[in-house]
Amino acid sequence: MGCSNGSSDDGGPAVVTEDDVHDDESGRSCQINGVEYQGQSTYYAADGSGACSFPATPDDLHVVALNAEDFVASAACGACIEVDGPDASVSARVVDRCPGCGAGDIDLSAEAFAQIATLEQGRVDVSWRFVPCPVEGVLKYHFKEGSNQWWTAVQVRNHRYPVASVEIKAGDGDYKMATRSGYNYFIVDEGGMGVGPYDFRVTDVMGNVVEDRGIAFSPDTLVDGQAQFPICEDGR
């Protein structure tokens, strides 16, 4: 999948989109990769935290841990999935990895599992797929505690689609491709990112690009960007 980079004439944030929406025979659209997964779901006492290094979200417990294969060393963090179970369907946000899950298996929060089956069932057959997250507002950036101008780790939050890559630029320098860690932070460790402010160029798995400029360095703080990945064509 190719990606396009772009910027606005006035130097403001730029959003570049690609028409890369998948439709399947059931009539669903806006699947992230067009893949329908089959497996089993269990449940656990989730609080929203986990291997993705997100904070606990007591007001949003429709979350899920993915099997290691589909977690892809944190690449699925922050993505949303739609799960079809015996009784109904539910959407959940990826926040953790499930070490004991086999290929296609998931571990839903108890709150999400209760929407598709009874807790007494414990383990049920499911099908699921990646879908856009119903986010509001702009991308947000969290600088990891301990970050500095020589070693900087930043996490992207509140993204509609899974993040594929992050490039970072300080001052008049060139963009540097950040490396994604297994704990879901993007790191520039060869000389760091400097003192800031920074420009971020974030690409999602659909090929959409958001450029956020002038992001101030603020360790262990959530900083708003200026744009969001565009919504897909069926409005979901």
Q: What is the pLDDT of residues 85-112, one digit of tens each?
A: 999 999 999 999 999 999 999 999 999 9
Q: Where does the chain have alpha helices with state H?
A: 68-71, 110-116
| Whether residue 127 sits in one domain with residue 163 | no
Q: Taking residues 183-204, report their average pLDDT.
A: 89
| Whether residue 154 sits in one domain with residue 89 | no
| Whether residue 92 sits in one domain with residue 49 | yes
Task: Let me know if residue 182 belongs to a domain.
Answer: yes
Q: What is the pLDDT of residues 7-60, one digit of tens each?
A: 333 444 444 333 333 333 333 346 677 899 999 999 999 999 999 999 999 999
Q: Is 150 helix (H, G, I), strand (E, B) or coil?
A: coil
Question: Which structural domain range is residue 68 located in?
Answer: 33-131
Task: Let me know if residue 2 belongs to a domain.
Answer: no
- Number of separate domains in the chain: 2
CATH of the domain at 37: 2.40.40.10
How far apart, in whole angstroms, are the C-alpha atoms of residue 64 and residue 189?
A: 30
Among 131, 147, 171, the domain boundary falls at 131
| Whether residue 125 sits in one domain with residue 86 | yes
| Whether residue 147 sits in one domain with residue 104 | no
Q: Taking residues 68-96, report their average pLDDT.
A: 97
Task: Let me know if residue 1 belongs to a domain.
Answer: no
| Whether residue 95 sits in one domain with residue 172 | no
| Whether residue 147 sits in one domain with residue 113 | no
Q: What is the pLDDT of residues 136-188, one digit of tens each?
A: 999 999 999 988 888 889 999 999 999 999 999 987 778 989 999 999 999 98
| Whether residue 155 sits in one domain with residue 112 | no
